[in-house]
Structure 1
């Protein structure tokens, strides 16, 4: 029987070159959540930085993690953490950028396709094709004109977006906490109304 642990994984790429790009919004949300707890991420032996915490005393343990590798290799360290801490795929929450949502929109879902997202593809592959994990989809909007999507998500947020970004990260962090505290359906009802 699996443990009651949750793993919250924020997707992105390593290093200062990518740290403030649209593709790294998942890692930014994990930083927001960890900052609320006055904690910091520590390196592990599996290629990820991680910290454990609880929403409240006696509540389920939450493991917050970001991969130290590139987006398309996210699945391996996440799978290793899941195996080590006995996390069921149904208790995995993956936070990622979503070009099919307008900037500032946040949507929650369980399962479904990866929509061309290389981080999600890597996770699904390392879970043996299991897609039964929860996604916190943080909208970054579609690229303008004919700009390539890969180039677009590797750019920093615009000046106007940067002004609104702290609130977006806060709302996405709240969404994660709602999922863990109240369940996915209740969290969707709350988050999708905003």
Structure 2
């Protein structure tokens, strides 16, 4: 029978999930025990080094953390100077804010998108701005997800929303397209799946009887631009929290009244 001390030590070692190096002193016979050093128990340990004396052994165990899976962050918009700075392109602008803050170059063109790779904290990320025009955004996003085999739970799509008050953010774990043609295209290329995270940026409703199509192609005035710049900084922090701490903390951050006060 294995001694209780060995059983306790084994439980401690096998419960550690972070990357670390530890040194413990254990009876020499423990290192010779097949149950302690069995492949099943030691598979998560990259190194087990032992040195012994007559009665005790010092064991140094290095535990390796699994490499995080990459996230795909996509901003929706229309390419070209004509559409730059318009309401329909706030998704592009949010991605540009992230790229600049995290030092990620987006100079390459892949998968019909301006594309870049980098990291946020310890999490690898891919940033994309589809160049297919809004209504065909899914062609680009679907190709990236398929090529890199990215789980949809690791995809964040950022886009404009007329049903949100101007410069407001809303983070959702899933949902429909809400009449947004870019999102409609993305969902279609995900074979109808809606189970991916989205960050909505409010652009407000068109004034009077203005055609919504004309409204989303309008630029921002000076006051709106100042408000939107604050929104992008909040969005940047929300994305960092999402990747590093999880959806719930990020959604709480986005929806907190204290958040807006902090950034103003």
Q: Shorter chain as normaliser: what TM range?
A: over 0.9
Residue 118 of structure 2 corresponds to residue 53 of structure 1: yes
- How far is 1:85 from its partner? 1.6
SS in 1 for 2:159: strand
SS in 1 for 2:83: coil
Note if contact 1:99-1:142 (Cα within 8 Å) is conserved in structure 2: yes
How many angstroms apart in 2 are the aligned matches of 1:184 and 1:42?
A: 29
- How far is 1:185 from its partner? 1.3
RMSD, aligned CA = 1.3
2:186 is matched with which residue: 119, 123, 130?
123
SS in 2 for 1:74: helix
Higher relative contact order (CA 8 A, sep 6+): 1
Note if contact 2:132-2:139 (Cα within 8 Å) is conserved in structure 1: no
Show the counterpart of 2:209.
146
- How far is 1:150 from its partner? 1.4
TM-score after normalising by structure 2: 0.69
How many angstroms apart in 1 are the aligned matches of 2:250 and 2:103?
A: 24
Higher strand share: 2
Q: Greater Rg, structure 1 or structure 2? A: 2
1:6 is matched with which residue: 71, 96, 114?
71
SS in 2 for 1:44: strand
1:95 is matched with which residue: 151, 155, 158?
158
Show the counterpart of 2:173.
110
Q: Which runs of 5+ in 2 are unaligned?
A: 1-67, 258-264
- How far is 1:97 from its partner? 0.5
Note if contact 2:187-2:194 (Cα within 8 Å) is conserved in structure 1: yes
How many angstroms apart in 1 are the aligned matches of 2:168 and 2:227?
A: 12
Matched positions, count: 190
- How far is 1:37 from its partner? 2.1
Show the counterpart of 1:39.
104
Note if contact 2:112-2:130 (Cα within 8 Å) is conserved in structure 1: yes
TM-score after normalising by structure 1: 0.93
Show the counterpart of 1:64.
127
How many angstroms apart in 1 are the aligned matches of 2:107 and 2:147?
A: 16
- How far is 1:8 from its partner? 0.2
How many angstroms apart in 2 are the aligned matches of 1:184 and 1:144?
A: 34
- How far is 1:158 from its partner? 2.4
